[in-house]
Structure 1
Amino acid sequence: MTTPAEANATLSPLILADLSDLPDSRINGSISVDHSTGRISGSGTFSPSFGIGSYTLHFCADFQGAAIRDTGVFMNDRAGSEPKNLSVMQDGVNNSPEILPAGAWTRFHAPNSNDKSILARVGVSFISVAQACHNAETEIPTFDFDAVHTAAQDAWTDTLSAIEVTPGPGVEASLQTVFWSGVYRASISPQDYTGENPLWQSSEPYYDSYYCIWDSFRSIHSLITIVDPVSQIRMMRSLIDIYRHEGWLPDCRMSLCKGFTQGGSNADIVLADAYLKLGSIAQAQGVEWQTAYEAVRTDAEVEPANWAVQGRGGLTSWKELHYIPTDDYDPYGVGPFTRSISRTVEYAYDDFCIAEMAQGLGYMADAQKYFGRAEYWR
C-alpha cells in the first residue's frame, strides 16, 4: 500500500503549452520556457475563424504552488529538456496540411501546499510578449485565486445589475437560469481591445469580435443600447474609427481581421439604431455622426472590389433594377453571387436605416432617396 507521503513524493505536475489552436489554423509560432521560473511565453500567427488574413497573438504564463523540477520543449510526440525555445511554421515545401503539436512544458516537484494545486496566471496581447506579461502582472498582481474570483463575480454583478427580474406565479425558476445565462452571453462580445490594436494608432476605443453584425444587430446590440449605453457608444466610436482607417464598416470582424459578409451592410443598422436612441448623448461622448453618415452612405453608393468582406455587391442592379437578380451581372467587384432574395431584402432595410439617419441630420434629399430605395423589397 502506498502511503500519503510516498504518493506525495511521486506527484510531479506537468503543464504543456501547445502552440496549436482548436481549428489547427496555425501558420507559424515560437515559444520559450524559463528554466528557473518555469514561465512559458511565446507567439502564434493564426487564420481567423470566419474571414481573411491572419493575426498574431502573444502570451505569457506564470505558475505558483511548487518548485520547478525541469522544463523543455516538445514537437509532435517527442519532448526534451533542451533547448528551451522552439519555432515552427507551415510546411511550405511539401504543401502538407498537417499541423503538428508543438510547444513548451514545465514540470514541478510535488506541491508543498495541502491542496496540491498549481496556480497559473496567463496574459495575452496582440502587441508583444512583453505586453502580454505586463497585462497579466497588472491585472493579477498576486496569485490570489479567491480575490480574482471575487473580482470577477463583482464585475459581472455590476454588469447584470442593470436588469431586475420580478418572479411571477406559475413561472418555473429554471426560466431565470435561462434568462440570466442569455444576458451573460449577450455581454461577452463585442470585446474591448482598446490599447491592443497593432494595425493603427488612434485615441479612439477599439472593439473586436463583431461576430457577426448581420446577426447581432437584431439582438445583442439593441439590448446593449438599452442596458449598457456607455459600452454601445464606445462600440460606435470603434466602428467609425475602423471606417476611418480601413475605408469600410465591418459586417463581421474578429481577431483584427475582416470577416465575411452575408447579405447587406448591417453596421448601417447598428449605427442608425444608436443614432436614433442615443444621438445627442453619444455625440457628447465622442461619436462623430457626420463621419458615421459618410460611412453608411459609402456602403449604399460605392461597391468595393471585394464585397465578400465589406460593403455591398450588385449595387448597379440595385439602383437600376431595384432588386438583385439570381444571376446578377456584376463586373465591378467579387463576392458571393448568392442570396439574391435575402440581399434584396437586407439592402432595403439598410437603406431605410440610412434614410432615418439622413432625415435626422438634415439631409432631406438623401432621406427621400433612401426611403424610396427602402421600398425595393417589393
Structure 2
Amino acid sequence: MESMKHSTTPRRVLHALCLGSLVLALTACEDVRAIPWPAAGTGTATDSATADATPEPSPVQSADLEATTDEGTAEPVEVAVPDDVVPAPVPAALPEDVVPDEAAPAEPVVVEPVATAEVVVSAAYPDDAVGDYQLGGSYTPPAGVNLVVRDSTSKPAPGLYNICYINGFQTQSDDSDAWLKDHPELVLHVDGEPVADPGWPDEYLLDVSTAAKRTAIADIMAVTMTSCADKGFDAIEFDNLDSYLRSDDALDIDDAVATARLYTERGHALGLEVGQKNTAELGSRGRDEVGFDFAIAEECGVYEECSDFTDVYGSHVFAIEYPEDGDFAESCASPGRPDNMILRDLDLVTPSDSDYVYERC
C-alpha cells in the first residue's frame, strides 16, 4: 500500500524536494571554498613545525643539493676530506700464482684402499684330463698324465692340474685320537660310542647333524684347505661324502649336502675348484645345490653308475677302479664311463713298491 501512495505524489511536492537538495549542495561548496589552503610550495602548520626541528644539512649535503641541475641530474661533486681522516690503505695486487690464505682450497683427503687378501687363481679342470691317483705317496706321474690327486700333506706336481685330498666327513686314522680328545662333540656317537667306518675301523664319522656342528667342522677343515691353496693346488676333493650311509641312520643325505656346501663355498673363496667324491645318490644336487665343479668316482664301472656322474659333469669326471673288485676291461666298456678312467692298486702305493698298479683304458 505504501508504494501506491508514492506513485500518486503530486509533482509540486517532488519539485520542492529537488530545489531543497540543490540549495544544500551549493551551501556545502561555499563552505569548502572558505577553508584556508596553504600556498603553493609551503607545508601545513604541522609540516612547518617539523621543518623547524630538522637540523641544518651538512656541508656535503648542501654541496650535493647545489650541484643538482634543473634537469634533475647530479653533477660530479668534490667532497673535502678533513685533515685528520687517513684513507684506508689499498692492498697491493697479489701475483697471479698466489692465492690468499682464506681463499686457498683445502688439501684433498687421500683415503688409502683397504688391503684385501690375495685370491689364489687356480686352473680349470682340463677337458682332456688324464689322471693319476697318488694318495699313498708322491712320485713322478706316468707320461701323458696332466691331472694328479695327492694328499693334503704332499706338494703339488709342477705344471699339472693338482687336486688336494681332504677327508672331510671322517677322521684320518692318524688324527682320530686327537678328534676324540679335542673335539669329542664333533665326532658322531651312537649309544655313547664313536661310530667308525666298517671298512676303515680307525676312522670315525664326523657329526654333521646340526648347523652349529657343521660350521665348527668347516672351520677346522678350513685350515687344511688354506694350506692346499698356499701350496699351489688347483682343487680339493672331500672324501667320504657318503658317510651318512654308514651312520646307523644318525645322519642323512641332506646333512651331507649342507656340509659339502660349506666346503665348496670356502674352497671357491680360496680360488680352488671342489670335486664331488663318489655318492652317485646325489644326482644333480651336487652340481646345483652344493656347487661341485667335477667328480671323482671310485669303482663306478664295477657298480655300473658311471653315467650317474657323466650325465651331470660330462667330461669332468675322474674314475678310479681297483683290481680286487672287478675286471678292468669290463669297466672300460661300461656305459657312460668317463674318458679319464684308470686302474690303481687299492693301497695306492708308489712305483717302487711291487704292488704298484697303474693302467688306463
Answer whether TM exceeds 0.5 for this pair: no
Q: TM-score, normalised by structure 1?
A: 0.23
Instruction: Give the TM-score normalised by structure 2.
Output: 0.24
Q: Which has the larger radius of gyration?
A: 2
